Structure formats: C-alpha cells, structure tokens
Amino acid sequence: MFKKTILENGLRIITSPMKGTRTVTVLAMVGTGSKYEIKQINGASHFLEHMFFKGTEKRPTALDIAETIDRIGGEYNAFTSKEFTGYYAKVSSKHKKLAMDVISDILLNSKFDAKEIEREKGVIIEELNMYLDTPTSYIKDLFEVLLYGDQPAGWLVIGAKENIKAMNREKLLDYFKRQYVASNTTILVTGDIDEVETIREVEKYFKDINKNKYTKKISVKEAQDKPLSLIHYKKTDQTHFCLGTRSYDFNSRDYFVLQVLASILGGGMSSRLFIEVREKRGLAYRIQCSSENYTDSGYLVVQAGVGNDRVDESIKVILDEFCKIRDKKVLDKELNKAKEYIKGKLLLGLESSDEVAFWLGHQEVLKKQILTVNEVFEKVDAVTAEDIQRVGKDIFQNNKLNLTAIGPFKDKNRFDKMLRV
C-alpha cells in the first residue's frame, strides 16, 4: 500500500500508488504544533500556516499562489493541530509536478513579509472570534483547557488575542527555522503515481530544506484527584457540553480498545448513546463519542447539544452508559458490530488520494510507524469483551471525570455534584 523512504538529511518520503483514481495528493506534514510553543508565542504554528500562502520569490502574492492551483481545478489547503501541521494540494495526476512545485515553494521560499504579517493579524483575530462564537467547536477546546490547564496541551492552537497582536516576523522566522527541518518533515504523495519517479521528484523539489535539529515539546503533566467541571456562561438556546474521562495516549496497548469502546457508545445511529439520548428520549439532535489520543495523553469524550432545561437528564443518561460499560460485559453481537463499523468507516475514508495521504501522514508523524489497513483490522478484531470492561473499569472512575459546558449557567456546583459513576 505504501513505501517509506528516508533521505540522508532525514526527510521522510511516503509514496502510495492507488489504482482507480486520476488524482494525486502532495502533502507535507511537519511534526510541530501548539504543543511545541512557549507561552509568549502560543499561536505561532497557526500564524505560520497562514503566512505560507502569502507569497514567495517565484509567486510574489497570495493571488499568484492561489491562481496556480485554481487554474487547473485543484484543491489546496493547510491545517494546524497541537502536534502536527500540514500543507497539501490535490490535483489531476498530469499536474503532479506543479503541485509538488507549489508545496515545496511555499515551505522553502516564503517571504514572511512584515506588512503581510500585520494585515493577517486581523484575519486571524476574526477567525478566532468566529471560532469562539461557535459552541460546537469551542466546547472541545474548553474540555482540553479543563484537562491540561496552563501548559501547551491546554492552550488554544490559534493562540490568544494578545499573542496574535504581538506576533512579528522575528518570532515567526525563529520558530520556522527551529521546527521546519528535514528530520521533522514527511512528504506524502498518493494516488495515480509512478513510485520510483515520484521519489526522485521529491528529492529534487525539497533538496534545499533546512537540515538543523528541531526542538522537542514538553511532556504533558496530568494530575486529577476528583471530578472537574468548567462552565462557560453564555446566553444560548441550547447547552453544548463535553463529558468524558482521561484515558491513554496514541501509543498505548489499549489504543484500539478505546476506539472500539467509543464506537459502542457513540459510533453511528444504532450506538448506545444515540439510541438512549436521541431516539428514546429526544434529548439531542446530535450526540457523538470519540477517543482522542496524543503522543503523551488521551481522553474519551461525549459531545452533545441539548435544551437548557434538559442538561441534567442528558448528563445522567451518559453517566449511566459509562457505568454499564464498566459493570457489564458487552455481548459479542454488539462488539462485532462496533468493530465492523470502524473497519467500514476506514475503508470508505480511504477511497480518495487526499484521505490516504492524511491517514498515512498522521501515523508517520505521531508514531514514526505506519500500520497497513489489514494490520489495523487485526488489532481491531483482537479486542475482546474482557478488554472493553477492563478499560471501562479503569477510565470510568470519579477522579477521572470531566465536564465542560457552554450555556446560561452560573452555578458550577450543580454540575460538580452530578459527576459520579
């Protein structure tokens, strides 16, 4: 499915030829994000992401970069998270070299013009304002603020407004030179490609990448001895909340147990929470459960939006479902359904070249190791009912419970009293 090539300078190349497609995705992923920042420059990773599209020597303006891909009907974008940042272009396969030229050009030759940086501050602040006004997005970050507090893992990826306003070319260049280096970068090319030819092309286009050593992040510190809550007061017609528990990191032996457990609780329209919360009680339109895993921490969380007068009932139903997972073994029929749900969703997602690139890149950057689809299936299939209950007993404890809510509430104690399993 893929081939991994490591050049002498440490740059990693992942190639994945795909049959039945006429597209190619070129994705550059860098192992850096907001967890690699210090307080004074929190938001630098995300700010840099914006600046890479503002002009190079070859393509002096943002319009020049945008038109290059628009002219051929391609797609291009970027993303910043807490542990990685990515830049990609998806094009018809005959334009593969152009996509590679654009991605390498912005990463190696961006100007980071001071006037553009000043102008972009307004754009990013408005992006932050939009984000803060969207409870379905903001509530998840509030959950991590509650879990991790005042350390990189607990800061917003986009940064605080005062940091955005204080950002300058010197700070961005310093961060760029420290983190955007060959040994911290993976180039993925997937789709309708010739593998040997593609590897040669990547070597050519990225030959001038910085060869310095990169700065590693500070490890997450976790400490909790009782249930915790964080209530963000806001006049809303609906209360949005995240209710979950600390769990394990991406490299844990129980990573796949958590994925199956989350699927049982909230994977699809026949999951336990969907049936109990939506179908039986009509409490929410949307409810989901996910296992979120970083390299050094993780959590399982349920997210929903409910009527303001039905928050207590909704929380109680979810906590009851936590207890059922912990106290009673799941039946084989339900366990197998959850496994097939995970496998089916993965296969559906890997039908396009960009999704294959993201999936391979996520594994490579976070683990430096990639499992094939069949290897993932084997690990999912190996999960037993005993594993689910064992993990349930470990994570569904009072001193690991956390709740964040956005809604018209000022009494935090009422929520603290409910957090019991």
The enclosing domain of 127 has a CATH number of: 3.30.830.10
Catalytic residue among 49, 116, 120, 201: 49
Could you confirm whether 49 is annotated as catalytic?
Answer: yes
pTM: 0.95
pLDDT digit string (tens) for the chain, length 421 residues: 899 999 999 999 999 999 999 999 999 999 999 999 999 999 999 999 999 999 999 999 999 999 999 999 999 999 999 999 999 999 999 999 999 999 999 999 999 999 999 999 999 999 999 999 999 999 999 999 999 999 999 999 999 999 999 999 999 999 999 999 999 999 999 999 999 999 999 999 999 999 999 999 999 999 999 999 999 999 999 999 999 999 999 999 999 999 999 999 999 999 999 999 999 999 999 999 999 999 999 999 999 999 999 999 999 999 999 999 999 999 999 999 999 999 999 999 999 999 999 999 999 999 999 999 999 999 999 999 999 999 999 999 999 999 999 999 999 999 999 999 9
Residues 191 and 270 in one domain: no
Residues 181 and 274 in one domain: no
Count of domains observed in the chain: 2
Residues 12 and 94 in one domain: yes
Residues 24 and 153 in one domain: yes
Whole-angstrom Cα distance, residue 104 to residue 98?
10
Whole-angstrom Cα distance, residue 245 to residue 289?
11
Q: Are 353 and 337 in contact (CB under 8 A)?
A: no
Residue 221 included in any domain:
no
Burial 94-119 (b: 16+ CB within 10 A, else e): ebbbbbbbbbbbbbbebebbeebbee
Whole-angstrom Cα distance, residue 102 to residue 26?
10
**Of 205, 236, 271, which residue sits at a domain end?**
205
Boundaries of domain holding 158: 3-205
Residues 36 and 173 in one domain: yes
Residue 223 included in any domain:
no
Pairing of strands 284-293, 75-80: unpaired
